[in-house]
Amino acid sequence: MSDILILNGRLVDPASGVDAERDLLLRDGRVAAVEMPGGFRGAKTKETIDAAGLVVAPGLVDVHVHLREPGQTYKESIATGTAAAAAGGFTSVVAMPNTVPVNDSAAKLEWMLDAARGACVNLFAMPAATFGSMGEEITDFHELRRAGAVGFTDDGKPVLHDRVMREALVAAAGIGVPVSQHAEDTRLTGGCSMNAGPVAFRLGLRGMTVDAEARIVERDIRLLKDIEESEGLRAHLHVQHVSTARAMSLIRAAKAEGLHVTCEVAPHHFTLTDEAVGDYDTNAKMNPPLRAETDRLAMIAGLMDGTVDCIATDHAPHALFEKEQEFERAPNGITGLETALGLALRVLHRGHGMTISRVMELMSVQPAGIVSLEGRGTLKIGSFADVVVFDPSVEWRFDAKKTRSKSRNTPFDGAGMVGRVVATICEGRVVYRNDVEQPAKS
Amino acid sequence: MTVGDLSIAEVAAILAATDRIEQMASAERARMLAGRRIALLFYESSTRTRTSFELAAKQLGAITTLVSDKSSSIEKGESLKDTGLTLRALGAECIILRHPNSGAPYLLATATGLPVLNAGDGMHEHPSQALLDLRTMLARLDGVNAHRVDEKTLAGVTVVITGDILHSRVARSNAMLLPRLGAKVLLCGPKELLPEDALGLGAGVEIERDFDKALKQASARGRGVAMMLRIQRERLAGLELDLGDYVARYQLNEERLIACAPHALVMHPGPMVRGLEISGEVADGPNSAIEEQVRHGLAVRTALLARALGVGGFESVTV
């Protein structure tokens, strides 16, 4: 593997507390050395990236993506989904198990993680917490862990039964990985296609209530506490895509109590509200749905005060014909890998004054920590050479036609973004490069 | 699509055209859309709306074709988009759509580029119903100038809409149209059928859960309307209602009408469930405008079709 020098950039590595100009030498897939600017003068490498004026940060980590392979490769494949990830600055992604068939066995997991699938960034996976994600019988956590599982989830569906969720949390605690929960009490959301509220009422659509999310979060926190008290086990609950102020305050309180709860927020939930549904735009349909402005602001408050551990995209590609349906019939989900950084910098950094270092923390070291990716999410010497280089000041518009994903279902087509990825490097390999297309700075 | 798309001036123009078309000799009327092709695409059963749109189109000389979800390729799973494209390829110039999913007309209009008339979409809207209800009120209420439709036309008028508001596209269209003409709209019903979110429909819309109190606000002679709605069992989705209790609290019967609003105009978009939301005596009584509503429906729909196809004084408006 060839060496890469990244010179003159602003290294932002929250894990080592660095936010300063540094030069970086990547060798054999690892970070070999970090020097003050000019420290590598005279060094010869095959490739040099001049990062003057650019941020050099750990490659982004997304703990929540849908890559649709096996079974639905007309929407996305592991190759195309990870190509989109690379274009968005991500070097590690965690694939959800709701493929066809559901990823619930070691054989299926190994097939998915096999190099033959053509992933161009680091691919990890959370297999199903229950067989077929039916919510009834937990899968073989030990065997799946040996095959590479970084957590367990029935994403897309919640684990509803108390007993099953408790069992899953206990089993996962035994091997030190999280149970990642899609918090939706589906007994309350039958026939619902957006957030409950005045917009849904006006549009004549049945709405998912705040309660439907909060009830599951509340129940899961109660289970955690009970497991800790009765079995002395420190189970790890990861709450996926938090979308309501209620759930956010429940998580804040649980963290204050010292429970092992982590959570993620998706860019669309801190950027848009249910008004974005407009005239039944199915590209504004996802689950959990876009919520009210108070909820959106609560997501930002949680991101600012540390309640939120990471930003995750819930990248959920769907084919055009599936989204070109009646709103209530169209599938949930939007793509997100190529717009996450641009939205985080626009809304959180520009809009709310979050430091770039904190944005990076939410998108690299902290998500890496949730799923225990050793040596990732940081650029300390010896860690993996997973790097994103981006221009933090470029303003641009996302063009869905240029996506690397197979699908274009995004409400952000034409939306303003801040910060453009110039290069993505995964274990020392350049997996994305964009210095041809340098838009004018504004 | 929605009454929200119509400016007050457009509402006035539609009602004026309704009058003009109504006064035409039938031969003249039949020339308006002679040979034009209109498709009725119905994914839900309907008596009034379907028949009146069809008769309206025929009165104007148009060729109509009816496609329903049963006995068509929709049963084989053909999408709304493809069904629309097929109708367009067969020469349809305008599609009248009734659909169980809210927002379906937007999808059809985008897919086909044709004018689409919303004949009721899910729980969303039923714009032609609101227009025919408005015309009925203009004809029956006292002191309103039926020929001057503006922001003050219904000033001082109180319309009480009672019943299953949650599932009612008629309630939504009326609540979004009538206040813009100056009326006060009082929504009435139990929490399960009338959530507080309904207040988001706009200014001039209020909630009064006590039916008697609501009716009393519509008691002024010639200035009050009691619009009753059916409980839509097909959309209740598991919601359980105590019908006995519902009848006791919300049924419009003679006793209640006489006690609270003896002069109120009684309206119902149909279909009615006599003995549930409304007693037979009231439905057939002197206050009732229910059959007139149906007649106005036919008239208003002729104007809507002329407008959609850009004839009769309308400059090819796309709906």
Cα A285 to Cα A271: distance, rounded to the nearest angstrom = 14
Across the interface, whether the CB atoms of A324 and B103 are under 8 A apart is answered no
pLDDT at residue A441 greater than cutoff 50? no
Topology adopted by domain B127-288: Rossmann fold (3.40.50)
Residues of A with CB below 8 A from B85's CB?
A: none
Across the interface, whether the CB atoms of A205 and B81 are under 8 A apart is answered no
Domain positions in chain B are 3-122+297-308, 127-288
The predicted-structure confidence for A60-115, as pLDDT tens digits, reads as follows: 999 999 999 999 999 999 999 999 999 999 999 999 999 999 999 999 999 999 99
The predicted-structure confidence for A3-56, as pLDDT tens digits, reads as follows: 999 999 999 999 999 999 999 999 999 999 999 999 998 888 889 999 999 999
Catalytic site includes residue A314:
yes
Instruction: Find where tokens 């680091």 sit.
Output: A122
**Domain A4-56+385-433 of CATH type 1.10.357.10:** no
One pLDDT digit (tens) per residue for chain B, 319 residues: 899 999 999 999 999 999 999 999 999 999 999 999 999 999 998 999 999 999 999 999 999 999 988 878 888 889 999 999 999 999 999 999 999 999 999 999 999 999 999 999 999 999 999 999 999 999 999 888 777 899 999 999 999 999 999 999 999 999 999 999 999 999 999 999 999 999 999 999 999 999 999 999 999 988 999 999 999 888 777 778 889 999 999 999 999 999 999 999 999 999 999 999 999 999 999 999 999 999 999 999 999 999 999 987 776 554 4
Question: Is the CB of B201 inside 8 Å of chain A's CB atoms?
Answer: yes
Q: Which residues are within 8 A (CB) of B25 and not within 5 positions of it... i.e. 6 or more apart?
A: none
pLDDT at residue A440 greater than cutoff 80? no
The predicted-structure confidence for A204-240, as pLDDT tens digits, reads as follows: 999 999 999 999 999 999 999 999 999 999 999 999 9
CA distance readout (Å), A410 to A202, A285, A339, B35: 23, 9, 9, 43
CATH of B3-122+297-308, one of 1.10.10.10, 3.40.50.720, 3.40.50.1370, 3.40.1110.10: 3.40.50.1370
Q: Could you give the residue range(s) of every CATH 2.30.40.10 domain in chain A? A: 4-56+385-433
- The beta-strand segments (E) located in chain B are 37-42, 63-68, 94-99, 116-121, 158-162, 184-188, 205-207, 224-228, 265-267
For residue A87, the number of C-alpha atoms closer than 13 Å in the C-beta half-sphere is 19
Q: Which residues are within 8 A (CB) of B291 and not within 5 positions of it... i.e. 6 or more apart?
A: none
What is the chain B residue with the closest CA to A277?
B103
The predicted-structure confidence for B26-49, as pLDDT tens digits, reads as follows: 999 999 999 999 999 999 989 999
pLDDT of residue B160: 98
Q: Could you give the residue range(s) of every CATH 3.20.20.140 domain in chain A? A: 59-370
- Catalytic pick among A314, A386, A391, A413: A314
Q: Which residues are within 8 A (CB) of A323 and not within 5 positions of it... i.e. 6 or more apart?
A: A282, A283, A330, A331, A409
Identify whether the C-beta of residue A442 lies closer than 8 Å to the C-beta of residue A18. Answer: no
What is the secondary structure of B51-74 as a DSSP string? HHHHHHHHHTT-EEEEEESTTSGG
Residues of B with CB below 8 A from A201's CB?
A: 166, 195, 197-198, 200-201
> Span A59-370: which CATH code?
3.20.20.140
Closest CB to A326: pick one of B107, B123, B125: B107
Average pLDDT score, chain A = 96
Best probe of the A interface among B197, B207, B236, B239, by most A CBs < 10 A, is B197
pLDDT of residue B315: 63
Q: Which residues are within 8 A (CB) of B44 and not within 5 positions of it... i.e. 6 or more apart?
A: B69, B98, B99, B100, B120
- Extract the tokens encoding A187: 């007994």
ipTM for the complex?
Answer: 0.94
pLDDT of residue A44: 82
Closest CB to B101: pick one of A190, A207, A326: A326
pLDDT at residue A331 greater than cutoff 90? yes
Q: Mapping DSSP to helix (H, G, I), strand (E, B) and coil, where does residue B188 land?
A: strand
Cα R_g (chain B), whole angstroms = 19
pLDDT at residue A430 greater than cutoff 90? yes
Identify whether the C-beta of residue A173 lies closer than 8 Å to the C-beta of residue A260. Answer: no
- pTM, two decimal places: 0.94
Question: Is the CB of B99 inside 8 Å of chain A's CB atoms?
Answer: yes
Closest CB to A202: pick one of B79, B80, B201: B201
Cα R_g (chain A), whole angstroms = 21
pLDDT at residue A439 greater than cutoff 70? no
Closest CB to A202: pick one of B104, B122, B200: B200
pLDDT of residue B239: 78
Q: What is the largest CA-CA distance in chain B?
A: 58
What is the chain B residue with the closest CA to A207?
B197
- Extract the tokens encoding A286: 């996802």
pLDDT of residue A442: 39
Residues of A with CB below 8 A from B106's CB?
A: 279-280
State the nearest Cα–Cα gap between A324 and chain B, in angstroms: 7
User: Do B3-122+297-308 and B127-288 come out as alike in CATH topology?
Assistant: yes
pLDDT of residue A436: 56
Across the interface, whether the CB atoms of B237 and A198 are under 8 A apart is answered no
Across the interface, whether the CB atoms of B197 and A201 are under 8 A apart is answered yes
> Residue B260: which H helix or E strand, with range?
helix B254-260
pLDDT at residue A168 greater than cutoff 90? yes
